[in-house]
Structure 1
Amino acid sequence: MAVLPVPGAAFVAATGSLQPEDTVLGGALTLAVPALALAAVTGVLVISGEYGSGTIATTLTAVPRRGTVLAAKVALVAGVLFLAALASATCAYLVGDAMLAEDRPQGEPWPALLGVAALFPVAGLLGLAVGTLLRHAAGALTTVVALLLLPSMLGPLFGPAERWVAGASPTAALEKLTQSADADAQAVGSLGAWPSLALVAGYTLLALGGAATALRRRDV
């Protein structure tokens, strides 16, 4: 996840594949979308790995307070992903800024890079919630990747409702934060970048609440 954006920025700059209206920030973070998907996958694996190996039973025996177990995983996923994403996104922007033409619009990297970095732990926590609810790695991975990618892919099928379907996805929030030229209101909704981040964080918190309830009520 942390490695993808920097070589992606160098590749985009070297190939000159950006459109004239693309900003340096948007071009430098071209590979932030697959990196975001990997952040969600990381969140899934934090919990599904224990279910797959059976060590979750040992964990819950050692720490009977199941809310504490989940809270510890939340803190770990959020902290690690935020720091990794902030370093990666900042380096990618600096590489893009150094390699792209000086006459290209820069975009507004600050505080946008902080928002981008915050979105990665949100995606990771969404993955953690889905992994806790489903417990099966393959099913959880499929579900969380679909939640990230399908709204923007299938949005055009919903006609006038495209902006609502695609605009609620984490990838739409990412495109707005990176000020991508593809982030037009028709495709990703009229919400601003920060309200979009707040929306994604809101339903991620709801998913975590559901995951915590399920973890407390079932045997394992």
Structure 2
Amino acid sequence: MTNDIIGARAGFRQALAAEWIKFRSVRSTVWTTAATAVVPIAGAVFVAATGSLQDDDTVIGGSLTLAVVAQMLAAVVGAMTITGEYGSGTIRTTIAANPGRATVVAAKATLVAGLLYVIALVSCSLAVLAGDALLPARYATGEPLPALFGIAGSFAVAGLLGLAVGTLVRHSAGAVTTVIGLLLLPSLFGPLFGDARRWIAGLSPTAALEKLTQTSDATAEAVGSLGPWPSLWLVAGCTAALLLVAVGALRRRDV
């Protein structure tokens, strides 16, 4: 085992393979990822069963009512990908096996973003199909494509945000609390910033998600002034910047 770890030092591919092994070996991460996949589908069935949609809502918006909850779980998955190693002390073994700390974070980011994108795309697509089958015909369908690709992208961004926060905070409870705050607080506190409220409210993956799902509540005042895709790209850019800050912090400190 030691020889395998030493031999895996140099390459990104080996680092990615090692991250996958660690990811699927941690029960809490696996179960949280599974919950991320299940929640949107369960939400679509629940909304259809309760008939709780507004008349001006859409099938895609109603079906993905609980997508925000699933996105929070995606962010938690991203955070736990690295905070779990800090909690168990295996982060030192990881760094010893691959001293290139940027490579370690890049491997984790690739795994988190790729896995969450695929899971969200499949799960949210199934949720929309379930909603389309179960909701009354009076609701407009909306535009599932290409919105579903953006929705899946917002899950990947949330996971990367969690990874960045986890790398900076290094403690599971603190990282989870922080990243959920980053998802929810912009829309809650945006109205306090006067004319800037529409921009403040839009600075989270949750804002992009709400716009992409085309819900009747996704007004500019509530979730930012940009359109769905520009909002997603803005949030992705901010998340990438924070991830670079996290890589810099990891390089400077003694693990």
Q: Same fold (TM over 0.5)?
A: yes
Q: Distance in 1 between matches of 2:193 and 2:50?
A: 35
Write out aligned runs for 1:67-216 (5 A). Answer: 67-216=102-251
Match of 1:164, as an amino acid? W
- Residue in structure 1 matched with residue 69 of structure 2 by the alignment: 34
Q: Which residue of 1 aligns with 2:26?
A: none
Question: 2:80: which partner in 1?
Answer: 45
Per the alignment, residue 17 of structure 1 pairs with 52
- Measure, in 2, the Cα distance between the counterparts of 1:214 and 1:158: 30
Instruction: Point out the more displaced range, 191-200 or 163-172.
Output: 163-172
Deviation at 1:100, TM superposition (A): 0.8
Distance 1:115 1:10 in 2: 22
Cα shift at 1:154: 2.2
Decide whether the 8 Å contact of 2:154 with 2:206 is kept in 1: no
Identity %: 66
Paired with 1:202 and 1:189, the residues of 2 have a C-alpha distance of 16
Q: Which has the higher contact order (CA 8 A, sep 6+)?
A: 1
CA deviations over 1:79-126 (Å, ceiling 9, x no partner): 110110001000000000001111211110000000000110110000
Question: How far is 1:160 from its partner?
Answer: 3.4
The 1-side partners of 2:106 and 2:204 are apart by: 24
Give the aligned length. Answer: 220
Task: Output one character per residue of 1:155-184: Cα deviation in whole Å (capped at 9) or x when no partner.
Answer: 233343321221222111111000011011
Give the Cα separation in 2 of the matches to 1:159 and 1:27.
30
Shift of 1:217: 1.2
Aligned-pair CA distance for 1:49: 0.3
Gaps of 5+ in 2: 1-35
Q: Deviations over 1:22-46 (max 9, x none)?
A: 0000000000001000000000000
- After TM superposition, the structure 1 stretch with the greater mean CA deviation from structure 2, 207-216 or 158-167, is 158-167
Aligned Cα root-mean-square deviation (Å)? 1.0
Aligned partners of 1:50 and 1:112: how far apart in 2?
Answer: 35
State the TM-score, normalizing by the size of structure 1. 0.97
Larger of the two Rg values belongs to structure: 2
CA distance in structure 2 between the aligned counterparts of 1:134 and 1:216, rounded to whole angstroms: 14
Kindly state the Cα deviation for residue 194 of structure 1 after the two structures are TM-superposed: 0.3
**Structure 1 unaligned spans of 5+:** none
Residues 188-219 of structure 1 deviation map (CA, whole Å, 9 limit, x = unaligned):
22211000000110001001101111111111
SS in 1 for 2:201: helix
> 1:62 and 2:107 equivalent?
no
1:41-73, Cα deviation, whole Å (9 max, x unpaired)? 000000000001110001100111111111110
